[in-house]
Structure formats: structure tokens, C-alpha cells
Amino acid sequence: MKNKSRYCKKCSKQFKSSMQKRICYDCWRAEKKTRREERAKKKLERKLNSKKWLNKEKRRVTGECDNLWKKAVIAYYGDKCVICGNVKINIHHIIGRRNKNVRWYIPNGCPLCAGDHTFLKDSAHQNPLKFRQKMIELRGEAWEKDLIEKGNQAWDKDIYKIKNYLLNGLK
């Protein structure tokens, strides 16, 4: 069988082919490339909508929010222990981290040294009621009411909104 001259269905360019091709090599390559790109796009779309990827992304952003919250609390209250003035500090949640409404709320944080945070007899973790009384003395009853009110609200679960709030808190 001889090479016959044919015309491409896509670009109308003349080409020689020994096979029953209806399109030229250039159009065939372009078609193949677009099919490959479409498959890659669908694969990425499936990945972005998968629960595994979404959970991984949520954990990543949650970790970023935790770090931003620590920096925001230090920027807001200073880098010394609120009780004794020590420079080596930990950041304490007044209302626990499980309550997502106030987990990243800046007034819910308090810079404390390791002793006042966990190790001493009257520390925040050893004697939470006494610690709460100290915080009310330092920050006032309006602060506590605001914190309790915020903690009892429904959480909207938008972690990106929280991240923006924390970034604005650092400015």
C-alpha cells in the first residue's frame, strides 16, 4: 500500500499517511495533550473533593491558627507572665481548647510561666478556680462575661475566617 495524500479533518492541512488516519500528526498530538490535561484536571478535582485531603487541609490550617493565636496573645498581652513577670512563657487557654468558639479567641489566652501554668500548687491547671479569680481581678468581670458569652455561641466552623481574624489581631 502506497502512502496516500489525505486532508486533515481539523486543520485541512494535506498530509501523507499509510494508515487510515483522518487527522494530521500535529492535530493528533494537540488532541492527545488536551485529553491528558482533562484527565489531570479531573484527577485534581477528585483529590480536592476527597475527605482525606479535606481533613489533611483542615488539620494544616488548624495548626496554623494555633500558632497565629499564640503570637496574637503575646502581641496583645506582652511576652511576660501575667502573674509573676517571668520571661519564659507558655500560653494558657482560660476556657479549654475543645470549645472551638473560644479556642482561637485572643481574650481567651493568657501568657504564663511554666510554674504558674502547670507546675506550682496554685497554677492554672492545678487550681483553676483560684486562677480564674486572679484573672477576674486582673481583667475585670466584663472580660469574664464576654468570654462566657462567646463560649456559649454556636460555632460556624469557618477556619479560614478565624485565620483572617488572627492575622488582623497580629497587626
Tell how far CA 17 is from the center of its chain.
56
Task: Give yes or no for a contact between 91 and 111, defined as CB atoms under 8 angstroms apart.
Answer: yes
Ordered per-residue pLDDT tens for the chain, 171 residues:
566 777 888 888 887 765 666 788 888 888 899 999 999 998 888 887 888 878 888 899 999 999 999 999 999 988 999 988 888 899 999 999 999 999 999 999 999 999 999 998 888 999 999 999 999 999 999 999 999 999 999 888 888 899 998 988 877
Here the cell at position 143 is 472580660
pTM: 0.69
